[in-house]
Amino acid sequence: MKTLKMLRLSLAMLLLSSLATACSGNNANNAGAETNSKPDSTNSANAGTEEVKMDKVTYTIFNGVAGSKDGNTNETTIGKMLEDQTGTNFKLEFLVGDLNTKIGTMIAANEYPDVLIPDAAIEEVLNAGAFIPLDDLIEKYGPNIKRVYGDDLDQMRSADGKLYFLPMSAQVGDFVPDPEPTAAFWVQRRVLEEAGYPKIKTLDQYMELIENYAAKHKDEGLTGMVSLTHDWRFFATANPPMHLLGYPNDGNVMVDPATLEATTYSGSDGAKQWLQALNTLNSKGMFDKASFVDNYDQYIAKLTSHKVLGFFDYRWQVQTALNVLKDAARKDPSLDGYNYFPLPVTFDESIADAYVDGPGGLVTNRGVGITVSAKNPERIIQYFDNMLKEENQILITWGIKGETYEVNEEGRYYRTQEQINKIDEAFNEKFGFKYYSWNWPSYGNNSTLSDGNARGVGYQPEVFQMSLTDKDKEILGKYDAQTYTQMFAKPIDRPWYPAWGFVKEQNSPELMWETNKDELTKKYYPKLVLSSPDKFDSIWSDFQKEWGKLDTAGYEKWTTEQVKKKVDMGK
Amino acid sequence: MEKRNRIRTSRGDRVFEICNFIFMILLMIVTLYPFINILAVSLNDAQDSIKGGIYLFPRALTLDNYQYVFKEATIFHATLISILRTVIGTVVTVLGSAMVAYTISRQDYVLRKFITIAFILTMYFNGGLIPNYLLMRDMNLVGSFWVYILPGLIGVFNLIIIRSFIENLPESILESGKIDGAGDFKTFISIVLPLTMPVLATVALFSGVYQWNSWFDVFLYNSSKINLSTLQYELQKILQNSTATAGTSSMDGMINGANGSQQGAVTPLSIRATMTIVASVPIIMVYPFLQKYFVKGMMVGGVKG
Amino acid sequence: MNTKTILATPEIKTDQKPAGLRLFLTKLVKQRVLVFMSVPFLIWLFIFKYLPLWGWTIAFQDYRPALGFWDQKWIGFSHFKFLFGDERFLRVLRNTLAMSSINLILGFLTAIVLALLLNEIRQVAFKRIVQTVSYLPHFISWVVAASIIQTTLSPDGIINQLLIWAGFIDKGQEFLFLGIPHFFWGIFGASSVWKDIGWNTIVYLAAMTTIDPSQYEAAEMDGAGRFKRMFYITLPGIKSVVVVLLIMNIGYLLESGFEPQYLLGNGMNVDYSENIDIFVLKYGIAQSNFSLSIAAGMFKTIVSFILLFVANSVAKRAGESRLF
């Protein structure tokens, strides 16, 4: 490697001198002088001084998740306050192109920002030895880190027993469930209204509800269901069997809470039942065939077109569409019927649904670490520790009392309508909610503050109630519920959840299985849904033949092992 | 040109011309439509665009999308860098390629074949991302403006096109220089360059568009140097930002009280349309200026001279 | 300067002979101006293009960016074995070749025809407008272009509406164009032509400027019609550029592009849309296996070289202008 580098270097010099006309001599000189030692200029302000706490210092962070525009934290209100407390500022850079490319070049060149959030590339970064161990630093400077993460940190240790990165969040205090489910079978409210707000529990009931409405409104050009299939979002069409069987989104497997056995479902009878239901719907002309060729934008456009009666999806995927409909209905209540209402649909009434996320395990394959490039890493740990103080957790979510939230006589936090209106995208950026909403060590979203208030604004029941329209409340009232979540089964504790978060080695049989499975389902599911019903069984057996070639047993065995490991660690 | 206008037009010619005219109109409709469509989306309210169905005209006219793109102060400096790299990169590559092209067009040049093949082969391989990155780092080009210019100093495609042109020049014209006793370099400057203006204009257009549109090298080498960022890269950032915002809007809604209206919030769909317009209009404007080199035959000047 | 003597003997091939080295050096000194004009760029070429080729070793390694060159695990040809051994590889190769051939043939034909037709337009202003408008789609990224294509081809898109209007199909029978596997190559070809036809004509229009206008006048005098002039003056005038471009592009036959196939591809048309690049993305890059993509790149390079030399020697035999 070294000789190679020398060769490259000498050739570089040769070139630069030969091209003296094309490029300034100034530049050529730099090439020789600086290549061997690359001092990081960003924190040179701090280089000479030792441990004067309030010394102003700026660190660089590279965030492997695209999230916001680049900038300095101290340009925001929150960031400025945190800088006043610690003297530390962060210069944030967010990923723009491909993550693996960017991280790959950092590793190959052995040049890192001070703090790195490598997202999915964390294995590579750890293997490269880019992170420094944090144990001693936390011991010395991290009382709040210890308080918040506690024993969780033991789950994060590498094989050598050291801790190299902090998880993004940890559950603190009581678990406050999300007032809305993570995923659901959605249906237009006018459909429910016309049917007299029946209790819909099973897929059969759901299909019947949609078919009945469509039959009564034949001439309106309605579509019964659409389904999202575009590119990596295909899981919106492939995942329902898991949910219909009463399991939460564990990716490719369903994990039995009693035995901890993981089983796949993509080629199972559950999948067959789901696809057959869609096939039947299609044969009646009520499934949108274009589902299998539409892109994401087309799908969202259809959901806002008022013509689609129902669909299955995760809330975060369709939020933009739901918001458009909600906004329209708020301005013109007669449009309320086009809003979608989430339903806890399973195959059978005896199956409890799992659409609401419960308290899961710690996400151990995502986090933030300090790299070998950072000078005085204790300043960074101190900053993280300071952020985890409860007052600062309130600051980054609720903001400043009197400005972005109020406290009533009972000590409950809330926002006035005026404050709610004030907080838009631009405000989020300027105030710093945007920079601090994600990817910093912090309390989990479902956490509770020590005074009993919810840590997340949207999780505070009073705030959620305020966000509901009269019509929302009326419909929820028909089902004796105050929040959408109350329509669904109570989540149970699954310490391995989510199983899709397990780390897989590059090029491993597990990754290969997943790629093959994706390819197979993407190819066969459209055929199964769009075929004429009498051909369904023969296509299914073709699919089964191909499916049998995959090493599914090996994948299930591996996943089961991981589940058990995770459960053991959590104990 | 003027002469050909006087040529008598036969019946067949008339039919041909009408067909040709109709064909051109159809072609223009097909190729203009996407631009009109994108323009319409970029001028339409972002939240409204989500519903789809926008074809030729905006449904809810607004300049919000453009405002959103231009509110970043960085974009003006980035535009400057884009212009700089386009101008410098184009000039350097056109001159360099023309120079080498001239040498390998000379049948008598002893290194002709070697150089030609050495260049052509590079069109078909690539050492890969990481070796290239390490090379740039070792040459101290990472974090420098020259990383936009040096790696693309000569485009082989351009080189070959120019060479073909020079080879097409009538022998006699090149000879005339020799008889004047001009040296090779002088021949190149005073005869070859002026005579190959049409192809140099073509190559300038190719490399100008390439330079203007590049953002991957910014991402790779200069992503943390804000003062070397280019327009395309800043637009990519804005797009990513809007994608992330759309993806986590539920989360933001949660955190900020769920009730905030989405009115006026941008979407990737609208930003993509807006950035297409912002990024492409300036470079599209270049073409009409270069066209005069295509219409005027170089032979006109050549014969006169 | 002694350029005159050199020009006088352009046919010298003596440097092939045993005593050639001396002669070669002498000529090199004589041609020092040409050397100064080209060799610095040759050095540039070597550094920027040939030097990074050490990266090809990655194809024989279980590559991890974190490790130094000597610490990599060498695994021989197993990435190549994976690539060629996969039962899907033949299909993927077929799709690649089919789509790039379609692109090559359609791309050349349409651009040359359009250039010829543009050349026949007499109103300069109209000609310029057509030229400028026709090259607009080139500036639209594939992401945006693909979404326009998807909208156009959707069941409620304009193509289906036109078919219904013209009575070819009834309402409810709309084609799911992107869901019909064997339509994909056609859609891909048409999209590529639409996007780049104007852009591709530029080089031919430039080539046409080298044609001596007096040739047209002479032909006119002889009573040659419009088509005759096209065939006997315009086409031969641009032939050398066409041939050279053709040879270069034949070398690219395994490069059928990535974005259009990725963006327009879906589970229904995957048997016809998946090409080598997408295969490598799925099984290599998406699993952070850099080695597989380098291996595929090496394979493509070797095939390119073979195609390039074959095409070049065919052109040479046919007495056409050639690449080298």
Interval A178-210: pLDDT, tens: 899 999 999 999 999 999 999 999 999 999 999
pLDDT at residue B8 in the model: 54
Stronger pLDDT, A15 or A399, i.e. the higher one = A399
Average pLDDT in chain A:
87
Average of per-residue pLDDT across C35-47: 95
Report the chain B residue with the minimal C-alpha distance to residue C113: B20
Q: Is residue B135 less than 8 Å (CB to CB) from chain A?
A: yes
Using a CB-CB cut-off of 8 Å, the residues of chain C touching B128 are 52, 55-56, 58, 290, 293-294, 297
Whether the per-residue pLDDT at A16 is higher than 70: the answer is no
- Together in a domain, A107 and A200: no
* A203 Cα to chain C: minimum distance (Å): 25
Contact B144 A424 (CB under 8 A): no
Whether the per-residue pLDDT at B99 is higher than 60: the answer is yes
- Together in a domain, A25 and A84: yes
From the list C260, C203, C20, A358, the residue with the least C-alpha distance to B202 is: C203
Cα diameter, chain B: 84
Using pLDDT thresholds of 50, 70 and 90, give the confidence band for residue A41: very low
Whether the per-residue pLDDT at A107 is higher than 60: the answer is yes
What are the structure tokens assigned to B115, written together?
């150089």
Distance, in Å, from the CA atom of A311 to the CA atom of A321, rounded to the nearest integer, reads: 12
pLDDT at residue A34 in the model: 35
- Together in a domain, A90 and A230: no
Using pLDDT thresholds of 50, 70 and 90, give the confidence band for residue A341: very high
Cβ neighbours of C214 (radius 10 Å): 11
Distance, in Å, from the CA atom of A343 to the CA atom of A324, rounded to the nearest integer, reads: 20
- Together in a domain, A248 and A350: yes
Contact B238 A69 (CB under 8 A): yes
CB A105 within 8 A of CB B133: yes
Report the chain C residue with the minimal C-alpha distance to residue B31: C134
Cα→Cα distances A552→A240, A266, A267, A305, B179, Å? 19, 10, 10, 40, 80
C-alpha torsion angle, residues C244, C250, C251, C253 (rounded to 10) = 150
- Together in a domain, A118 and A203: no
Whether the per-residue pLDDT at B94 is higher than 50: the answer is yes
Distance, in Å, from the CA atom of C51 to the CA atom of A158, rounded to the nearest integer, reads: 38
Distance, in Å, from the CA atom of A266 to the CA atom of A277, rounded to the nearest integer, reads: 15
Q: How does DSSP assign A274-288, residue by residue? A: HHHHHHHHHHTT-B-
The percentage of residues in chain A with a pLDDT greater than 90, rounded to a whole number, is 66
C180's CB contacts (< 8 A; 6+ apart) are C268, C269
Topology of the domain comprising B75-224: MetI-like fold (1.10.3720)
What are the structure tokens assigned to C148, written together?
């326009």
Note the helical H segments in chain C. Answer: 3-8, 20-30, 32-45, 78-85, 89-119, 124-134, 142-153, 158-165, 184-208, 213-221, 226-229, 235-250, 259-264, 270-273, 276-283, 290-317
- Together in a domain, A38 and A136: yes
Nearest to C154 among A18, A104, A298 (CB): A298
> Looking at residue A169, which CATH number applies to its domain?
3.40.190.10
CB A226 within 8 A of CB A308: yes
Nearest to B257 among A66, A437, A467 (CB): A467
Helix (H) and strand (E) counts for chain A?
Answer: 25, 15
Report the chain B residue with the minimal C-alpha distance to residue C141: B276
Amino acid identity of B296? K
DSSP assignment letter at B7: S
Distance, in Å, from the CA atom of A245 to the CA atom of A262, rounded to the nearest integer, reads: 14
Distance, in Å, from the CA atom of A328 to the CA atom of A338, rounded to the nearest integer, reads: 9
A287's CB contacts (< 8 A; 6+ apart) are A223, A224, A225, A226, A227, A278, A281, A529
C153 in a structural domain: yes
* A489 Cα to chain C: minimum distance (Å): 34
Contact B178 C7 (CB under 8 A): yes
Q: Is residue C29 less than 8 Å (CB to CB) from chain B?
A: no
Burial tier of C203 (Cβ tally within 10 Å: 0-12, 13-18, 19+): buried
- Together in a domain, A343 and A224: yes
Domain that includes residue A290, residue range: 183-355+494-569
Nearest to B237 among A69, A298, A424 (CB): A69
Question: CA end-to-end span of chain C, whole Å?
Answer: 28
Ordered by start, the domain boundaries in chain B are 2-71+230-294, 75-224
A344 in a structural domain: yes
* C273 Cα to chain B: minimum distance (Å): 23
Radius of gyration of chain C (CA): 26
A384 in a structural domain: yes
* B248 Cα to chain A: minimum distance (Å): 7
C240 in a structural domain: yes
* C317 Cα to chain A: minimum distance (Å): 39
Q: Is residue B263 less than 8 Å (CB to CB) from chain A?
A: yes
The percentage of residues in chain B with a pLDDT greater than 90, rounded to a whole number, is 55
Contact C43 A295 (CB under 8 A): no
SS3 A93: strand
Average of per-residue pLDDT across C57-73: 83
Interval C190-237: pLDDT, tens: 999 999 999 999 999 988 888 888 888 888 888 888 888 888 999 998
* C133 Cα to chain B: minimum distance (Å): 6
Interval A460-488: pLDDT, tens: 988 888 889 999 999 999 999 999 999 99
Per the structure, the count of domains in chain C is 1
Contact B246 A320 (CB under 8 A): yes
Note the helical H segments in chain B. Answer: 2-6, 11-42, 46-49, 64-70, 74-105, 112-121, 129-138, 156-168, 171-179, 184-187, 193-195, 197-213, 216-221, 231-247, 249-255, 268-284, 286-295, 298-304
Nearest to C210 among B119, B295, B298 (CB): B298
Find which of C63, C116, C133 to mutate to test the B interface (most B CBs within 10 Å of its CB).
C133
> Looking at residue C253, which CATH number applies to its domain?
1.10.3720.10
Whether the per-residue pLDDT at B255 is higher than 50: the answer is no
- Together in a domain, A351 and A229: yes
What are the structure tokens assigned to C110, written together?
């349409």
pLDDT at residue C17 in the model: 53
Contact A292 C65 (CB under 8 A): no
User: Which H or E run contains A546?
Assistant: helix A536-547
- Together in a domain, A348 and A371: no
Using a CB-CB cut-off of 8 Å, the residues of chain C touching A526 are 179, 266-268
Distance, in Å, from the CA atom of A170 to the CA atom of A155, rounded to the nearest integer, reads: 12
What are the structure tokens assigned to A419, written together?
């404050």
Contact B16 C226 (CB under 8 A): yes
From the list C274, C179, C157, C187, the residue with the least C-alpha distance to A531 is: C179
Question: CA end-to-end span of chain B, whole Å?
Answer: 19
Per the structure, the count of domains in chain A is 2
Q: Is residue C135 less than 8 Å (CB to CB) from chain B?
A: yes
pLDDT at residue C24 in the model: 87
A468 in a structural domain: no
Contact C38 B103 (CB under 8 A): yes
Whether the per-residue pLDDT at A39 is higher than 60: the answer is no
* A18 Cα to chain C: minimum distance (Å): 6
* B137 Cα to chain A: minimum distance (Å): 8
SS3 A413: strand
- Of A504-518, B46-60, B145-159, C227-241, give the range with the top mean pLDDT: B145-159
Whether the per-residue pLDDT at B252 is higher than 70: the answer is no
Amino acid identity of A441? P
pLDDT at residue A49 in the model: 37
C residues 253-312 closer than 8 Å to A (CB):
266-268, 270-271, 282-283, 285-290
Domain that includes residue C219, residue range: 94-274
Cβ neighbours of C274 (radius 10 Å): 22
- Looking only at the bridges linking them, the beta strands covering A57-63 and A115-117 are parallel
Cα→Cα distances C62→A110, A340, A506, A514, C278, Å? 19, 50, 10, 21, 21
Distance, in Å, from the CA atom of C11 to the CA atom of B10, rounded to the nearest integer, reads: 48
Q: Is residue A41 less than 8 Å (CB to CB) from chain C?
A: no
* C38 Cα to chain B: minimum distance (Å): 5
Distance, in Å, from the CA atom of B274 to the CA atom of B234, rounded to the nearest integer, reads: 13
Distance, in Å, from the CA atom of B115 to the CA atom of B120, rounded to the nearest integer, reads: 9
Burial C46-76 (b: 16+ CB within 10 A, else e): ebbbebbbbbbbbbbbbbbbbbeeeebeeee
- Together in a domain, A380 and A515: no
Distance, in Å, from the CA atom of A125 to the CA atom of A369, rounded to the nearest integer, reads: 10
C231's CB contacts (< 8 A; 6+ apart) are none
SS3 B284: helix
C-alpha torsion angle, residues B177, B182, B183, B186 (rounded to 10) = -80
Distance, in Å, from the CA atom of A408 to the CA atom of C29, rounded to the nearest integer, reads: 92
C residues 146-165 closer than 8 Å to B (CB):
148, 151
Nearest to C282 among A107, A515, A526 (CB): A515
User: Is the C-alpha dihedral spanning B208, B213, B215, B217 positive or negative?
Assistant: negative
C-alpha torsion angle, residues B131, B134, B136, B141 (rounded to 10) = 170
Report the chain B residue with the minimal C-alpha distance to residue A12: B139
Contact C114 B27 (CB under 8 A): yes
Distance, in Å, from the CA atom of A168 to the CA atom of A166, rounded to the nearest integer, reads: 6
Nearest to C43 among A14, A229, A525 (CB): A14
A141's CB contacts (< 8 A; 6+ apart) are A378, A381, A382, A385
C179 in a structural domain: yes
pLDDT at residue A504 in the model: 82
DSSP assignment letter at A449: -
Average of per-residue pLDDT across A122-137: 91
Nearest to C139 among B99, B168, B280 (CB): B280
Contact B139 A397 (CB under 8 A): no
From the list A15, A106, A16, A374, the residue with the least C-alpha distance to B134 is: A106
Using pLDDT thresholds of 50, 70 and 90, give the confidence band for residue C10: very low
Q: Is residue C40 less than 8 Å (CB to CB) from chain B?
A: no
C304 in a structural domain: no
* A72 Cα to chain C: minimum distance (Å): 30
For helices B74-105 and C32-45, the axis angle rounded to 10 degrees is 130
A436 in a structural domain: no
Contact C52 B126 (CB under 8 A): yes
- Together in a domain, A169 and A187: no
Using a CB-CB cut-off of 8 Å, the residues of chain B touching C244 are 160-161, 164
Burial tier of A283 (Cβ tally within 10 Å: 0-12, 13-18, 19+): middle
ipTM of model over 0.90: no
- Neighbouring chains of C at 3+ CB pairs within 8 Å? A, B
- Together in a domain, A169 and A235: no
Find which of A15, A116, A425, A459 to mutate to test the B interface (most B CBs within 10 Å of its CB).
A425
Distance, in Å, from the CA atom of C153 to the CA atom of C158, rounded to the nearest integer, reads: 7
Nearest to B3 among C132, C136, C217 (CB): C217
User: Which H or E run contains A224?
Assistant: strand A223-226
Encode C42-110 in three state secondary structure. HHHHHHHHHHHHHHHHHHHEECCCCCCHHHCEECCCHHHHHHHHCCCHHHHHHHHHHHHHHHHHHHHHH
Q: Is residue B227 less than 8 Å (CB to CB) from chain A?
A: no
